[in-house]
Amino acid sequence: MVLLSSSPSLSITSPNYRYSPSRRLCLCPISATHVVTPHHIDKSSLTISETSSEDQLWAAARLRVRSFNEFKPSTFGIQLLSLPNDDLCAQCKFIENGEDRVVVGTLDVNQCMSLPDEITGMKPEGIEGQFARGYLSNVCVANELHRNGLGYDLVAKSKAVAQKWGLTDLYVHVAVNNEPAKQLYMKSGFVYENDEPAWQARFLDRPRRLLLWLGLPGNQNW
């Protein structure tokens, strides 16, 4: 898990983790210490790193719930969303080396042949595919910090991590109607490989998805 974190004046932390039968790896993204306006940050204060503590994972999980879900906290008895004014710094805070930090972005790197209920990448071919293929998932940046290039920074970090793991091919799924996400991934070097059948999307009750591919440095097809 990659974490992007900063001090409470406004911080970013994002998680990235690697799946394998016995191992999870997390990365810490960048964080911002000073906020110029509600939508702009001082990137010089941001740090990207691998997740290394349970507190970071909990902060990242709270950011994901805050970003991906829309429901009343009382409906499910969830306390993490009932903080005053849905405050990012209060909800997604963790302590690192005695300093308050805030997770503002997360991203998971999964080392596996495929993700559940998703179209599967075809590269590399053969038995080595299960060891050399990776998928990005749960790409998330706090709503307050969109349009600051933080998603691009997270994806860039994930490519470096995937290469360190020995991966040669990286995939990501994106909804066909999610233009900002498609632009982010294509700016990061991903290209179209396949798309989800319409019947499968209807069966799963979600927008149809595209599968984008990136060959990492060292890949003979890159």
Assess if residue 35 is contained within a domain.
Answer: yes
Per-residue model confidence (pLDDT) at position 143? 84
Residue with the bigger pLDDT between 4 and 161: it is 161
Rounded CA separation 123/131 (Å): 11
Residue 18 pLDDT more than 50? no
| 173 residue type, one letter | H
Total domains in the chain come to: 1
Domain CATH code at residue 159:
3.40.630.30
Residue 54 lies in a domain: yes
| Rounded CA separation 219/77 (Å) | 48
Q: Is residue 42 part of a domain?
A: yes
141 alpha carbon, distance to own chain's centre: 8
222: in domain: no
| Residue 149, pLDDT above cutoff 80 | yes
Parallel, antiparallel, or unpaired for β 2-6 and 47-50?
antiparallel
* Residue 57 pLDDT: 87
Active site residues: 185
Asked if residue 220 belongs to a domain, the reply is no
Per the structure, the complete domain to which residue 25 belongs is given by 2-215
Q: What global pTM score does this model have?
A: 0.76
Asked whether residue 221 is assigned to any structural domain, the reply reads: no
ω into residue 124 within 30 of 0, thus cis? yes
Q: Is residue 206 part of a domain?
A: yes
User: Would 193 be classed as within a structural domain?
Assistant: yes
Q: Contact, 49 vs 27, CB < 8 A?
A: yes
